[in-house]
Amino acid sequence: MTPPGEDFYQLSGWTVILLLVLFYGGTLLMSALIGKKKENADGYMTAGNKIGFGVSAASMTATWIWASSMYASATAGYTYGISGPIHYGLWGALMILFIYPFGRRIRKVAPKAHTLAEVMYARHGRSSQLMLAGSNIVGSLISLTSNFIAGGALIALLSPFSFSQGIIVIAAGVLLYTLWSGFRASVLTDFAQVVAMLGAVVVIIPAVFFAAGGPDMFEQGAQNLTPQQSNFFSSDAFLNQGAPYIAAVLAYAIGNQTIAQRLFAVREDLIKRTFVTATVGYGATIIGVGMLGVMALYLGLSPAGGDVNNLIPQMASTYLHPLLIGVFLIMIIGALSSTADSDLAALSSIMMADVYGQNVAGKKKANPKTMLLVGRITMIVATAAALYFASGQMNILDLLVFVGALWGALVFPVIASFYWEKVTNKAFTISVLVALAAFIPVRFEWLPMDGALGIVTDVVAVIGIGVVLGLMCFGFFGLKAAKIIGAVGALAAAPFAIGFLHDYAVLSGSLVAYAVSTLVCYFMCFRSGTSFDFDLIKQRIGDFDQRPETEAAEAATVQAGK
């Protein structure tokens, strides 16, 4: 059993061109077939709120799976052993499941919404809307950039083409099929892309496993693992990977427009089935791909160029037949494209509904044709901006952490705004800003955490543990159970966490953001005389198009999803 080297098998230029033409040509054809001669703004953003089960479940799965999540799962496997991909894939999958009860409440309160920020405008006002919309603009642009970088790097590794040529082809392909029909193109092409991804995973993972030595690999390579990597219940894996990811994906799920957009698009009675199916699809795919990192660890592989992001293409290049390398290329391209088109659709919806529709023209004066123009221009500008950032291969980790923290600070105020009539715009805004101010010095270790400050940080982080557990429980079992689970969880964690939790900056920073936003929001509201009537949201949010075709189901989309 010889460890793989750093040389990558490269497909010929014509083979790569053919694969890309088939993939993007096929998605462009699908987009053209569902295109409307007279597109409308609401269909462009949410496909008429009536997408069927098959398409919606596939789209949710494909959007949650992106190239970076595949790479990160493999990195977790290589770093922490077999428990790494389990922590990454399982918790990410369960977060999809935990979203759906909140999703049902959100759809009940705002059945015709286009963005979550639009609902915050109807619930509170401009500051909370722009806070949520702004974080999503930055987050989606970073996600788009990350996917372009992943695609360009993959093409540069497995073909004669350069990184710059790779990102241009990926960007052009995604933009072309998304531009005309917007969100409808995104969800329908997601269906084909997720089928391709799942099929590729089913073939590729076993092929690499047996080519790398099969079961003997684990016996012969056991000496390459540390005791923590060999332990399925590794505390190192949980504290550095599992626990931070639980907090991160809950924030991502609640605050991210790509998820909210699918929530508003799916038929309301299909929300549960959609999210449960996406939970299984995501978990199986990401854990499966992460096992490539585990195999690399047992094989004693050194990542090419010292970059762990090369693990997946390195394993594929070493152990797969050239035909399967082509399948592998399509799998990764499909993963990144399904998320990139979702980012474009999310950005266009935010600019159409939140910026132009609410803050420039106003709800009653917004022109649907102008909205469509705004949406398409947004996609072009966003693609150009992401290409610019990707071409420099900029380090976007700090920005990703910043946006993730902002979403973490938003989770409690956003959820509470859909259930608690006492939440005010002032409390929403101040709680988010204070939480963000508390998060930054903890996450970036600006202050020495020795002594009293470290203990205070740990105590607040323990409260954050209770908040996270309580929120997870609340959607399924109600407020009383959430309070009990949150309190018991925090008290149980306190003896083990206080005194050392501040040593894990990523985890403690996220937990501090949760705790501070919750405490500030609650104490600013619990004595408030405000009593918001949630029926007002339905009156304030509706279709921008008032033409008959807007009220009709998006026929092609619905039929494809049945």
545 torsion bin: left (phi>0), alpha (psi -120 to 50), beta (else): beta
**Rounded-to-integer distance, Cα 511 and Cα 522, Å:** 17
- Kindly state the DSSP code that residue 552 receives in the 8-state scheme: S
10 Å Cβ neighbour count for 307? 11
Angle separating helix axes 505-525 and 243-255, nearest 10 degrees:
50
- The predicted pLDDT at position 402 comes to 59
5-394 CATH choice from 1.20.140.10, 1.20.1630.10, 1.20.1730.10, 3.20.20.80: 1.20.1730.10
Question: What residue spans define the domains of the chain?
Answer: 5-394, 398-532
Please give the model's pTM, rounded to 2 decimal places: 0.83
DSSP string computed for 314-376 = HHHHHHS-HHHHHHHHHHHHHHHHHHHHHHHHHHHHIIIIIIIIIIIS-TTT--HHHHHHHHH
Dump strand ranges (E) for 113-264: none
- For residue 414 the two structure tokens come to 């956003």
- The predicted pLDDT at position 400 comes to 56
- The predicted pLDDT at position 404 comes to 61
Question: Is 180 in a helix, a strand, or coil?
Answer: coil
| Mean pLDDT per 10-residue segment, the chain (562 residues) | 58 91 87 65 74 84 80 88 87 82 88 87 87 85 86 87 91 88 78 78 89 88 86 81 76 78 85 89 89 91 81 87 88 86 90 82 77 90 91 57 70 92 93 92 84 91 94 90 95 90 86 94 89 88 59 42 46
**Rounded-to-integer distance, Cα 347 and Cα 113, Å:** 15
CB within 8 Å of 202: residues ≥ 6 apart? none
**Rounded-to-integer distance, Cα 356 and Cα 376, Å:** 13
Instruction: Tell me how many helices (H) and strands (E) the chain has.
Output: 26, 0
Residue type, 325: I
